[in-house]
Amino acid sequence: MTHRRWYTPWLLIAPALVWLLVFTVWPSINTVILSFTNARPLGGGHFVGLENFDRALSDDQLGDALLNSVIYMLVCLPLLTVLPLLMALLVQKRLPGITFFRTAFYTPVIASAVVVALIWGWVLDERGLVNGLAQRLDVLSQPLPFLTDRWLLLLSAISLTVWKGLGYYMVIYLSALGNVGRELHEAAAVDGAGSVRRFLHVTLPGVRNTMLLVSVLISVSALRVFSELYILSDGTGGPGGRDMSVVMLIQMYSRGFTGHLGYASALSLLLFVITVGPLLLLLRLDRKAV
């Protein structure tokens, strides 16, 4: 633990520190500064007080985006908290070929959201696989407009997010299951507990903290959604631009002749406020758990 020159550690840390300051700390401060200006992508940048925040209050598109985020979160939370746990239980047992299944289930996670959204855009197309099969099996008489209806488009994006997230949370649960004491399971089995009772009384309490962590991660990522909605709507935000997310609005205002960096920064601050809530909750719960 000794080193002869006092500056050696600083030399090693320097690159990371420079990056931290230039690409995280300064942009964070600058976001706050910009949010009080009328900066545009092509110049400008005068102090305008609370004008951007005023504008946000009466922005219907932002209202829609926030509503979409709430719906996103409410649908994703139960599905992504429960389904990946069941998948983890399924792949936990070391059967022959299980590594293949684990890797395969993880594939949607490593694929780009763009790739996934283009694939699902084709599957959910008016003349695509789902509509084709449903009509053939007489479930539908008319194709459902998955990608052109305000609510169906949102629902399609949500199912895409859920589908892409399954493997990610499965791996987190799989890791947590490794920590659930085998002794406890064995003891319960000796006492004659069936697999259902063992699941309820041994497995579930064992992964309770992980479930909390997972649900916070899900909430935060639901608020940060971008690519799914962007690609499925071809960048338009759906009919009337009502299928936007907050991040989509930020992207929209960050570029081009109609861009407004000041307003985009105000929206970024708003995004920070709504995402930091779940994270603070997690830190509280985490401290209790430790």
Partner 1 sequence: MARQQPVTRQHPTALQHPVVGDRSEPRGRTDRTGRAAGRVRGFNSTSTAEKVVRYLLLLLVLLLTVGPFLWELSTSLKAPTEDIFTRTPSFLPRKPTLGNYAEAVRAVPVWTYAANSLVVAAITVGGNVVGATLAGFALARLRFGGARLILGIFLATLVLPGEVTIVSQYVTVRSLGLADTLLGVALPGAIGMLNVLLMRTAFRAVPGEMDDAAIVDGANVWQRLIHIGLPNVRGMLSVIVIFAFIGAWDDFLWPLIVLTDPDKYTLTVGIQYLNGTFSANPRVIAAGTMIAFLPIVVVFAALQRFFFRGVEEGAIKG
Nearer to partner 1, 152 or 159 (CB): 159
Nearer to partner 1, 61 or 254 (CB): 254
Binding-site member from 63, 70, 122, 240 for partner 1 (CB under 8 A) = 122
Q: For residues 224 and 271, what is the distance between their CA atoms, to the nearest angstrom?
A: 8
Least Å distance, CB 103 to partner 1, is 5
Report, in this order, helix, strand and coil percent for the chain, each rounded to 5: 75, 0, 25
Residues between 38 and 57 that touch partner 1 (CB under 8 A): 39
Least Å distance, CB 231 to partner 1, is 6
Residues between 175 and 194 that touch partner 1 (CB under 8 A): 175-176, 178-179, 182-183, 185-186, 189-190
Least Å distance, CB 135 to partner 1, is 6
Q: Does 231 bind partner 1 (CB under 8 A)?
A: yes
Residue of 104, 118, 107, 127 whose CA lies nearest to 156: 118
Residue of 65, 79, 87, 102 whose CA lies nearest to 218: 79
Nearer to partner 1, 113 or 152 (CB): 113
Give the binding range for partner 1 (CB under 8 A) out of 46-54, 55-63, 67-75, 225-233.
225-233
Binding-site member from 62, 73, 87, 229 for partner 1 (CB under 8 A) = 87
DSSP characters over 187-216: HHHHTT--HHHHIIIIIHHHTHHHHHHHHH
Estimate the crossing angle of helix 98-110 against helix 150-177, to 10 degrees: 140
Q: Does 227 bind partner 1 (CB under 8 A)?
A: yes
Binding-site member from 38, 125, 193, 281 for partner 1 (CB under 8 A) = 125
How many C-beta neighbours within 10 Å does residue 100 have? 9
Q: Does 26 bind partner 1 (CB under 8 A)?
A: yes
Q: What is the torsional sign of CA 51, 57, 59, 64?
A: positive
**Residue linked to tokens 């579930």:** 204
